[in-house]
Amino acid sequence: MCFRFVLRIWLLALANIASAANPGSEAIVASKNIHSNNSTQTFITEMFSGSPPKLRALWLNAEIRKQLTNILGHAPQTLRVKYRQKGNQSLWVFDEIGKTKPITFGVFIRSGKIEDIRVLKFRESRGWEIKYSFFTDQFRHTSLTDNHQLSQTIDGITGATLSVNAMKRVARAALFLDQKLVLDQKLYPRLQQTIKLTQGLSGSTTHETTNQTPR
């Protein structure tokens, strides 16, 4: 880890020590900071420069659910995942358990790489350090490897391991779903073309058969 990253971790550790001397203050600090300009709608608007695309849904078939289960360590809780897409950009919002409560994450992907990842709502009393940019910046330009791992090493935060792991899982899940989206959109036009070609050949054969003169 770079010196600046280590220094910030050390400062956060001091803050944790101070909060331990004043019970309840940690949750207050987290609540105070976590909602500043980090709402879901703000994130969406900012990522798409003020003109976000319409909300869409990706249905989770058996194969996608299986892969997501391997990535998340548990089965998806929904039958579909909502997202927004414009060109080579996609945005995903996930709830993932940290220790006992869900953390809401926003992930913005461009050309198969994470452009931004944020904590949109934090409900735990510990681990809120993951919302700071010095940590989330590590995810920038990260892609997904062939075995569904992050292409870059993400340094952890002492005392926030469960929250860090939750963000890593969400990052991998978003990248995986973005890949599926891109692949499906590439295959769909080809499938449509094949169907039209097949229908055209079928129609031509039927027409020829109908117009044959009985002998």
Map out the domains of the chain as residue ranges: 3-199
Mean pLDDT throughout 95-109?
A: 96
Residue 144 DSSP symbol: B
- Does pTM surpass 0.75? no
Would the pLDDT of 26 be above 50? no
Would the pLDDT of 79 be above 70? yes
Distance separating alpha carbons of residues 9 and 95, to the nearest angstrom: 25
What pLDDT sits at residue 183?
87
What pLDDT sits at residue 37?
44
**Average pLDDT of the chain?**
81
Mean pLDDT throughout 167-178?
A: 98
Distance separating alpha carbons of residues 178 and 174, to the nearest angstrom: 6
State the number of CA atoms in the 13 A half-sphere of 177 facing the CB: 33
Would the pLDDT of 212 be above 70? no
Report angle CA 64, 112, 6 to the nearest 5 degrees: 105
Would the pLDDT of 111 be above 50? yes
Q: Where are the beta strands (DSSP E) in the chain?
A: 55-59, 80-86, 89-97, 102-110, 113-121
